[in-house]
Structure 1
Amino acid sequence: MNTLPNDHEKIARRAMEIMGGPDAFFNAADEELANINARWNQNVSEIGRILRAHLFVEHYLTQYLAQANPRLGSLSDARATFAQKVSLLDVDNPDIAAMLPGIKRLNAIRNRLAHNLGAQISDDDARIFLSCERFAALRAARSTGEREENEPLEVLEDFARHTAVSLTYEFAPLSKAIAQSILEVRNLGDAI
């Protein structure tokens, strides 16, 4: 639909007539702009922190799956979603199984954010992350007697870092050296 330069003025005048006059037109325009700005003016720091945590965990999740399944093709080329990658995890591994509720909740929060820019992280979300007993115990131990910060966003970020460490641990050279030394010390004792 092509319009001539002077058609824009006619279109604007007609739209104002349809809306009931200039005041009604501009009030409606201001209201729509206010709604758009309300969605635009979200807490970008909080949104960024949520997205960073999700992307961070997905990076380590992808890396873990590739290392655990060396003959698996490229998950990137397969365009596997976060949820599909989670479904590939070994639920028989107790360390993985303990983290799964939190990993799934992180994805649910990211999805909530995608569908509602004003999504907040709740205390219920934090409780799901803290239900991973090892994470909760390590987090509590790290607080060293100080009041532990249980702000839901802080818990989410801590859980993301814990998940990265846990997914990396099995294949990291340092953990392999520690595991090997444990076996050797147990088996060879004083001979080492």
Structure 2
Amino acid sequence: MREIEGIEKVVAYLQPHMADIEARFHAENESYINLMNRPHDIIGRLLKYHLVVEHYLERFLAEHYGIENIRAAKLGFFNKVELLPSRASSAAFVKPGILKLNSLRNQVGHNLGADISFDDLGPINGVLDVARPGVGFQAPIEAIEAFTTVACTWLIVPPKELHKRPVRRMPSTLCV
């Protein structure tokens, strides 16, 4: 074994502190193990929902604004969401929830100890109150999953030929 010059002096200096050093090591090791053992299912699901919404977000922006290659603009998720209309559009309805989804993804993505509660969902809850009235969710991640479905649906731009179709009135016999 190769010796390191002066190591004996370092070991002798540290010897009276070894109990504290070992205690600190064990505390840090336990903290590390706890972080590594945190369930990653929620992190993975949240990231997946975020990526799926981003896919539909890019499609919406490309179709709505006629942008041929939205990815070439190298916009971040937040910037893409900011390009969504804020009123008079189906996308405007889900925009606040998409912004919240992004902040939750950032919260979990930068802090392994982060937990998400129903109170943290904010505008996501508002969208679900309208789009999924009366549905109870067992966990916040389930509500986020349901929101993802709603958001993606509302971000779909109908084909141009459907834009020009005349709106027909419902026959009066069907009206209540």
Q: Does residue 129 of structure 2 align to residue 136 of structure 1?
A: yes
Give aligned pairs, total. 169
1:104 aligns to what?
Answer: 99
Q: Aligned pair in 2 of structure 1 residues 25, 69: CA closer, same or farther (>3 Å)?
A: same
Give the TM-score of the pair, scaled to structure 1.
0.73
Larger helix proportion of the pair: 1
Q: Aligned pair in 2 of structure 1 residues 31, 101: CA closer, same or farther (>3 Å)?
A: same
Q: Aligned pair in 2 of structure 1 residues 14, 52: CA closer, same or farther (>3 Å)?
A: same
Q: Does residue 46 of structure 2 align to residue 46 of structure 1?
A: no
Structure 1 contact 60–164 (Cα < 8 Å) conserved: yes
- How much does 1:60 deviate? 0.8
- How much does 1:97 deviate? 2.0
Q: Please list the CA deviations of residues 85-135 of structure 1 after superposition, one character each: whole Å capped at 9, or x if unmatched.
A: 011111133422221221111011011112211212222233421212xx4
- How much does 1:176 deviate? 3.1
Q: Residues of 2 paired with 1:10 and 1:112: CA distance?
A: 44
Amino acid at match of 1:25: I
Q: Secondary structure at the match of 1:136?
A: helix
Give the TM-score of the pair, scaled to structure 2.
0.79
Gaps of 5+ in 2: 170-176
2:57 aligns to what?
Answer: 61
1:93 aligns to what?
Answer: 88
2:119 aligns to what?
Answer: 124
1:159 aligns to what?
Answer: 147
Which of these residues, 69, 76, 85, is aligned with residue 81 of structure 1? 76
Matched ranges for 1:166-185 at <5 A: 166-168=154-156, 170-171=157-158, 176=162, 180=165, 183=166, 185=168
Gaps of 5+ in 1: 187-192
2:24 aligns to what?
Answer: 28
* Identity over aligned pairs, percent: 27
